[in-house]
Structure 1
């Protein structure tokens, strides 16, 4: 244990960059101890190889967060406390729930959705550009696109999801909200999904929630609480990281005008550019705490049974040991380097919606580059305010002109 652990979470770097402490830790102690807001300590993992190892180690458990005396990120109620939360399960139950939702997020399903997502993106751009020359690209595009997509997939009406971002921010906050606000968001979102389940039972559709209800009612593969929480997981995870990835990616592109011009002039770079943006500016600000269920080691550092470990996907893509000039955004970076990121995780908790998320990002960036090639930030990059204390990183607003 270090004599004086760093304090977690770290302050953000300038203009939406990762905390400056990450470079120091990767260079000297890629596995180091931090003190969390709860007062407990955990091992903080920032190097690419070390993060990948930690994410894939079955001895580091999310389910063990509920064990008595386990380290906690915050002293009050936390997103990991709920045993029905997919992100807080391990083993057979985790695999069973993932199998139920995975068919809706395969690469083939993603491609089948691409035309509809492009249609939504173009509708949003039409709304953006109607009778004005300035907009908040975060609120009016980066939020709206994933919300409308996940609403259609789940069988909800997008107009009903006005509180979705507010619920999400409170559910996954670290320091940005109070215990009471987190509990209220849990209750309100659960009540919304329960009401939607009742509606879909009465009038089934072709959506994902109707399919999950069938698994619950006809095949007894879900209990009612699992069903509600799977719905919450899909709503939250199905849009929140994508919102942040779109906002951060657009900010970085517009903050590097030569890279935006590359994308405008060379649309064939789109898929490759999306991977580079995920490497350079991934959506997650911090990482999910795990608990060691037995003695292990990460990158040569001993981790004792019962200790906490936080693999930081946000830090891994900037590891100088893995690629050249990682702090440079380069849409023409060699493919094997651009794809050297852990934005969707690794191992058993690898994001099941990665294929759909990639497609949404490609559409989001590509349609703007095609429709608004002269898009620029309306303010200097340093004037854009970033919201910290959440599991994902996003600007408060992203003002642009075209």
Structure 2
């Protein structure tokens, strides 16, 4: 394939917000293939489960190298990859140091301690839905609220700032939906906002995560001020955005497959397994985070030269027939669930435990409280918001 005929990345979505139809053929015939990026540069896109897993665990593929002069760009102009203080953009000792500071707050045990509060928030949001107009918008008034409410309480940010945080997040995680100027403005505004939170929590410390990080900065000098601010932004943005999309996409698929929704409503014990199947079938995004090869490597028989970009599309991996039987079928009872929705290797999502509890609380509480829930419009009429790192419906009208 010549550079003039390369597929354009990101590939167009399939019908009903499904993964790009080309993924299936690429996984089978060419799991590492060259694509053209929005910037005009080229990179290698990886779609097979084993290949994605290998790429994400290979330390010769670096996020930090994206900031090197002349590095391959996903988009023209500045984006989130240019920020050296973003946890996702770091490698080596600094990356390990910052992860060690936040990891204790997101252990599975800590996540379980949050479960009653998360379920309480879910119930309150459902109460509001029941009192509001019908059809209700399950995305805007439930899925988009629950995760940001939770992370605001965990970090120590006012919950009433939810819409402001969501607006900044949409720009920070934009690929083609916003201009470079809008992305840069969101970065500066969110940094100023978190700096203000830091100042407030220094004066009035609490039991929240931001106060804990301030102590690490001020007492032990394990953080510099800019790292502190950007850890706060990382937590507020990454701590809710992917979960919002996972909840919305999961609910859309559950309600589109009413047999599976009834199965969950009738059998609450299916909830943990159902959550994993939904992460496999309807993950938060259909794209991946690019890395740069720091030396010549071989990936699934493909020669990747030093300096070339590699995009492991972890969300394409969940429908690999080598790992999952009949992967195009949503089946909450299946035993062969395999996904990489939380990543793999040293960049594995540190908040995976909390995200799982939020997803279980969202799906389980709705199934218990509103078992007759169904889409209020044909599934084909649900619009999808593209051009972001995550994928979500514009709205999710429902009745019950």
- Whether TM-score is above 0.5 comes out as yes
Please state if 1:378 is matched with 2:367: no
User: Counterpart in 2 of 1:349?
Assistant: 347
Separation (CA, whole Å) in 1 of partners of 2:275 and 2:164: 28
User: Counterpart in 2 of 1:366?
Assistant: 364
Specify the SS of the correspondent of 2:319: coil
The 10-residue stretch of structure 1 (173-182 or 156-165) with the greater mean CA deviation from structure 2:
156-165
Specify the SS of the correspondent of 1:74: coil
User: Counterpart in 2 of 1:121?
Assistant: 122
Where do 1:239-318 residues align within 5 Å? Answer: 239-318=240-319
User: Counterpart in 2 of 1:197?
Assistant: 198
Please state if 1:163 is matched with 2:159: no
Residue pair 2:243, 2:284 contacting (<8 A) in 1 also: yes
Distance 1:196 1:332, change over 3 A: same
Distance 1:131 1:317, change over 3 A: closer
Separation (CA, whole Å) in 1 of partners of 2:356 and 2:345: 18
Specify the SS of the correspondent of 1:33: strand
Where do 1:140-219 residues align within 5 Å? Answer: 140-219=141-220
1:199 Cα deviation (Å)? 0.2
Specify the SS of the correspondent of 1:187: helix
Separation (CA, whole Å) in 2 of partners of 1:75 and 1:117: 39
Question: Can you list the C-alpha shifts for 1:98-140, whole angstroms capped at 9, x where unaligned?
Answer: 0000011000000000000000000000000015442100000
Separation (CA, whole Å) in 2 of partners of 1:259 and 1:79: 37
Residue pair 2:264, 2:270 contacting (<8 A) in 1 also: yes
Separation (CA, whole Å) in 2 of partners of 1:333 and 1:28: 26
1:156 Cα deviation (Å)? 1.0
Please state if 1:396 is matched with 2:366: no
Specify the SS of the correspondent of 2:342: coil
In structure 2, runs of 5+ residues without a counterpart are none
Runs of 4+ in 1 over 4 A off after TM superposition: none
Residue pair 2:288, 2:314 contacting (<8 A) in 1 also: yes
User: Counterpart in 1 of 2:72?
Assistant: 71
User: Counterpart in 1 of 2:37?
Assistant: 36
Separation (CA, whole Å) in 1 of partners of 2:387 and 2:320: 23
| Number of residue pairs the alignment of both structures matches | 399
Residue pair 1:45, 1:51 contacting (<8 A) in 2 also: yes
1:53 Cα deviation (Å)? 0.3
Separation (CA, whole Å) in 1 of partners of 2:189 and 2:352: 27
The 10-residue stretch of structure 1 (130-139 or 140-149) with the greater mean CA deviation from structure 2:
130-139
Separation (CA, whole Å) in 1 of partners of 2:309 and 2:2: 14
User: Counterpart in 1 of 2:95?
Assistant: 94
Please state if 1:48 is matched with 2:76: no
1:163 Cα deviation (Å)? 1.1
Q: Report the TM-score, using the length of structure 2 for normalisation.
A: 0.99
Specify the SS of the correspondent of 1:127: helix
Separation (CA, whole Å) in 2 of partners of 1:365 and 1:161: 21
User: Counterpart in 2 of 1:220?
Assistant: 221
Residue pair 2:147, 2:243 contacting (<8 A) in 1 also: yes
1:2 Cα deviation (Å)? 4.7
